[in-house]
Amino acid sequence: MFATLSDRLADTFKNLRGKGRLSEADIDATAREIRIALLEADVALPVVKEFVAAVKDRARGEEVSQALNPAQQVIKIVHEELVAILGGETRRLRYAKSGPTVIMLAGLQGAGKTTLAAKLALWLKEQGRSPMLVAADLQRPNAVNQLQVNGERVGVTVFAPEPGNGVGDPVAVARGAIEEAKRTLHDTVIVDTAGRLGVDAEMMKQAADIRDAVDPDEVLFVVDAMIGQDAVSTAQAFLDGVGYDGVVLTKLDGDARGGAALSIASITGKPVMFASNGEKMTDFDLFHPDRMASRILDMGDMLTLIEQAEKTFDAEQAAKAAGKLQTGDFTLDDFLEQMQQVRKLGSMSKIMGMLPGMGQFREQLENFDEREIDRIQAIIQSMTPTERANPKLIDGSRRARIAKGSGRQVSDVNQLVDRFFEARKMMQSMARGGGIPGMPGMPGMPGMGGGKRGKSKAQPKKGKGAKRSGNPAKAAQEAAAAKEKAAAAPTNPFGTPAGGEGIDYEQAAAALDLPKDFSKYLK
Separation CA 389–CA 385 (nearest Å): 6
Which residues lie closer than 8 Å to 337 by C-beta, 6 or more apart?
317, 321
Number of H helices, E strands in the chain: 23, 8
The span from the CA of 104 to the CA of 171, in Å, is: 12
* Listed residue (96, 140, 93) closest to 115, CA to CA: 140
- Residue 212 gets which letter from DSSP? H
**Is 252 flagged in the annotation as binding?**
yes
Is 109 marked as binding a ligand? Answer: yes
CB-neighbour burial class of residue 63 (10 A; exposed 0-12, middle 13-18, buried 19+): middle
511 is in an annotated binding site: no
CA atoms of 319 and 521, how far apart (whole Å) = 63
Q: Is 290 assigned to a binding site?
A: no
- SS3 for 419-451 is HHHHHHHHHHHHHCCCCCCCCCCCCCCCCCCCC
253 is in an annotated binding site: yes
- Pick from 351, 341, 348: nearest CA to 315: 341
Q: Could you list the beta-strand ranges (E) of 309-395.
A: none
**Residue 499 annotated as part of some ligand binding site:** no
Residue type at position 476:
A
Is 84 known as a binding-site position? Answer: no
- Cβ neighbours of 323 (radius 10 Å): 12
262 annotated as ligand-binding? no
The alpha-helical segments, DSSP class H, found in 127-167 are 143-154
Q: What does the alpha-carbon distance between residue 318 and residue 455 come to, in Å, rounded to a whole number?
A: 31
b or e along 384-422 (b: 16 or more beta carbons within 10 Å of the residue's beta carbon)?
eeebbeebeebeeeebebbbeebebeeebbeebbeebee
523 marked ligand binding residue:
no
> What is the DSSP code string of 384-401?
-HHHHH-GGG--HHHHHH
112 is in an annotated binding site: yes
Eight-class DSSP state of 107: E
> What angle, 0 to 180 degrees and rounded to 10, lies between the N-to-C axes of helices 201-214 and 230-241?
50
On whether 111 is known to bind a ligand per the annotation, the reply is yes
Q: Tell me the three state secondary structure of residue 52.
A: helix
- The residue type of 402 is I
314 is in an annotated binding site: no
* Distance (Å, whole) CA 313 – CA 163: 41
Distance CA 34, CA 229 (A): 18
311 marked among binding-site residues: no
Number of residues assigned to the chain: 523
Report the Cα–Cα distance between both ends of the chain, in Å, rounded.
72
Binding annotation for GTP: 107-114, 192-196, 250-253
Binding annotation: 107-114, 192-196, 250-253
